[in-house]
Structure 1
Amino acid sequence: MKLVDGNSAGTVTSFYTSGESATHDEIDIEFMGNSSGDPYVMNTNVWASGDGKKEHQFYLWFDPSADFHTYKITWNPKNIIFEVDGVPVRTFKKYDGLPFPSSRPMTVHATLWDGSYWATQHGTVKIHWRHDPFVVPYKAYHANGCVHDKATNKTSCPAGSDAWMRRELGEEELKTVAWAERNCLSYNYCADGWRFPKGFPGECGRDL
């Protein structure tokens, strides 16, 4: 993606997967625009069985509106990995007894929409329509995934899928996640006591 340049306040550019069942599953990469000169916020989130309060937000180490960059989601039965230009910045692991999107199919979406009510500085800065049109080009999209057939209720996986189906981060890749958390992380739901006054979600505090 190459994001909206200039004043992008109020805009949300996204690349995400979403399920169609009543108990909602979703995996998000969302870019929340900002006023000219201020950085974008990359919001990553996981919805599992209707629970979506699992955000990590990052300021990136480059201007995502100046050129194309590659954003990747790996989703398998063990974990969800978020990558930027091949650099893992977050992993969300599956733990026994805790919500994880693992039993329902999802489809892929790419959108650009008006998120004035929440996107920029918690909704205090709205979209400025005098700056339209807002344009986000996408290119070189690639997906390698198992396909679910609604008619037969069967899932088929292509050759080579075992590579990503088994993928977990190794020691060196976990170091890049730690680097991103130290240098780029601007919000971590596992540190938001106001949002979780009765205690943090079960996965918080677990070792990667």
Structure 2
Amino acid sequence: MRVYSSLWNADNWATNGGLVKIDWTAAPFVAYYRRFRARACKWNGPVSISQCAIPSKANRWTSNVYKQLTMSQQGQLKWVRDNDMIYNYCTDFKRFKGQMAPECSKPQY
């Protein structure tokens, strides 16, 4: 399993309509993952998808602890959104002409 990231210039649309500019003088930008351990269900064809959803010790991501954020976690997420998030594609109705991604209809906490 691999994790990929990308960086792209969205100065003109994803930063409060171009009001917040990226400081390119700080480049090159570096990101790293600390204490990252990839855990996944091995793909063995279409049948394995349903096996990955069965609650079991092997499928720890199906346990109740991962089904919903705690009140404390919801508060932490709200703080980050309120203080650090400058763009949310789920509220960008103009750019996407009302055709929002399916995940935007899910609870946003």
The normalised TM-score by structure 2 is 0.51
Q: Mark the CA change 1:173 to 1:160 in structure 2 (over 3 Å): closer, same or farther.
A: farther
Match of 2:59 in 1: 161
Higher helix share: 2
**Fraction of identical pairs, as percent:** 21
Alignment of 1:118-157 (within 5 A): 118-119=8-9, 121-122=11-12, 140-150=35-45, 153-154=47-48
Q: Mark the CA change 1:172 to 1:120 in structure 2 (over 3 Å): closer, same or farther.
A: same
**Structure 1, residues 87-111: CA drift from partner, whole Å, max 9, x if none?**
xxxxxxxxxxxxxxxxxxxx53335
Q: C-alpha separation between the residues in 2 aligned to 1:111 and 1:176?
A: 23
Question: How many residues are aligned here?
Answer: 90
More RCO (CA 8 Å, sep 6+): 1
Does the CA-based 8 Å contact 1:148-1:154 persist in structure 2?
yes
Does the CA-based 8 Å contact 1:193-1:200 persist in structure 2?
yes
Q: C-alpha separation between the residues in 2 aligned to 1:193 and 1:110?
A: 28
Does the CA-based 8 Å contact 1:190-1:200 persist in structure 2?
no
Match of 1:110 in 2: 4
- Whichever residue aligns with residue 69 of structure 2, its letter is L
Q: Report the 3-state secondary structure (helix = DSSP H, G, I; strand = E; otherwise coil) of the residue aligned with 1:108.
A: coil
Unpaired runs of 5+ residues, structure 2, are: 13-20
The structure 2 residue matched to 1:194, chosen from 86, 94, 102, is 94
Alpha carbon RMSD of aligned pairs, Å?
A: 4.0
Higher strand share: 1
Offset of 1:153 from its aligned partner? Answer: 4.8
- Whichever residue aligns with residue 9 of structure 2, its letter is A
The normalised TM-score by structure 1 is 0.31
Q: C-alpha separation between the residues in 2 aligned to 1:135 and 1:207?
A: 29
- Whichever residue aligns with residue 193 of structure 1, its letter is F
Pick the structure with greater CA Rg.
2
Q: Mark the CA change 1:165 to 1:192 in structure 2 (over 3 Å): closer, same or farther.
A: same
Offset of 1:159 from its aligned partner? Answer: 3.3
Q: Mark the CA change 1:206 to 1:146 in structure 2 (over 3 Å): closer, same or farther.
A: closer
